[in-house]
Amino acid sequence: MLLVALLLVAVNLRLGVTSASALLTALTASGALTPVAAIIVPSLPTAVFAIAGLGTARLSARLGVERTLLAGLVALVVGLAIRGIPDPAVVVAGTVIATGGLAIVNILLPAVVRVHFGTRIGPVTTAYSTLMSLGSAAAAATAVPIATALGSPSLGLAAWALPALIGLIAWLLAMPRPRDLPGPPAPAAAGGAEVGGRRIPLPAGTLLLAAYFSLQALLSYVVMGWLPSIAQDAGIPAERSGLLLGIAMAVGVPATVVVVSLAGSPRRMRVGFVLVAASSVGALTGLLFAPAAAPEVWAALIGLGMCAFPLVLALIAGFGDGPEETARVSSVVQSAGYSIATLGPLGAGALHQSTGTWSIVLIALGCCAALQGALGLALTRVVARRRGTAAPS
């Protein structure tokens, strides 16, 4: 039951982001968003993830991991529901609340997996990462048709509170009772944690892991926030543009199984890092020089490149000597990563408005994807040392 609940929760972890992305143009046209708010909304997830991440470890120290995760789900449902009110300030506020809940859940899921499925971290991480991709694909592909059927983009946006509510109820029913709860994680800090008056350093490689996480988050959230707009500006119809984001997310479903399996050893991990980076560079090159020539191909390559996220999640779940340290690493990595990644969607929107083209944005993202690949290769050497093996030559 706990596994089923965890998977139902995971389905919702990107629904609110990709559905809003697919509906940005319609929301702006209907007056539910102003042009300025339309730039802010895609930028909010990473900013709120960074801020909320700073307090998640302390909150879980008070409430426990599972209860804190429940609180995050409540915030998610409330935030998604109020976005149905067609007012720019309310939509922005609802996005802040919903993404705050998402941040809490994102950070704590690796620790939950470590505690309750410690001997099956890889398969469980693969399962919930796959369902994240499946959920985001479904939201991107169906957000416009659902909004059309409901007669309003605002109602179409709020509709995604329903699956979140199902995940909340499932977690509430399956959540371990108080006496079964594991010990809370230690509070996170940039260079370690204070325990008994002394600083406990983070495991080796945490900062490198945070740098890699930053770049993959920046790339992913620019894509999730702006791919439909990039496609529409290239002359692709709105429904097909939303479908492109759905394709990108759907490719992650089978690809996640393959990519996460590559985290089992440094040698295979090296292949995984190169594969996702090369896919991202190829997709961005296609969008830059021939966006309308083969948009579904570029979307599929983007989806493969975004599998950097489940790959790094699998690494986070295995970092540290226990669930407390895993939660601490997860909090530091995701807080730092999303702080930097916030510049991506906001900068992309601002650059596009100032230049009238997506070319500079796509070139910058291509450079970030190449750097991400280099950081991944450096990370394999750290993992190899942690596991007592030689890094591949």
Residues 5-47 have pLDDT tens digits of 999 998 888 888 888 888 888 898 898 998 888 888 877 877 8
Residues 113-144 have pLDDT tens digits of 877 887 777 788 778 877 887 887 788 788 88
User: Of the candidates 293, 291, 135, which has an alpha carbon nearest to the alpha carbon of residue 228?
Assistant: 291
User: Of the candidates 157, 134, 167, which has an alpha carbon nearest to the alpha carbon of residue 86?
Assistant: 157
pLDDT of residue 80: 94
Chain centre to alpha carbon of residue 192: 24
pLDDT of residue 63: 81
Tell me the mean pLDDT in the region 331-354.
83
pLDDT at 195 over 80: no
Chain centre to alpha carbon of residue 165: 20
pLDDT at 187 over 50: no
Helix (H) or strand (E) holding 252: helix 238-261
Average pLDDT, whole number, for the chain?
A: 83
pLDDT of residue 323: 61
Full set of structural domains in the chain with CATH:
2-183+203-386 (1.20.1250.20)
Tell me the mean pLDDT in the region 235-244.
83
Residues 46-74 have pLDDT tens digits of 788 777 767 777 787 788 888 889 999 99
Confidence of residue 161 (pLDDT cuts 50, 70, 90): very high
pLDDT of residue 45: 79
pLDDT at 364 over 50: yes
User: Of the candidates 42, 16, 25, 24, which has an alpha carbon nearest to the alpha carbon of residue 346?
Assistant: 42
Tell me the mean pLDDT in the region 240-260.
81
Q: In a 3-state reduction of DSSP, which class is residue 69?
A: helix
Query: Higher pLDDT residue, 311 or 98?
Result: 98
pLDDT of residue 391: 46
pLDDT of residue 202: 63
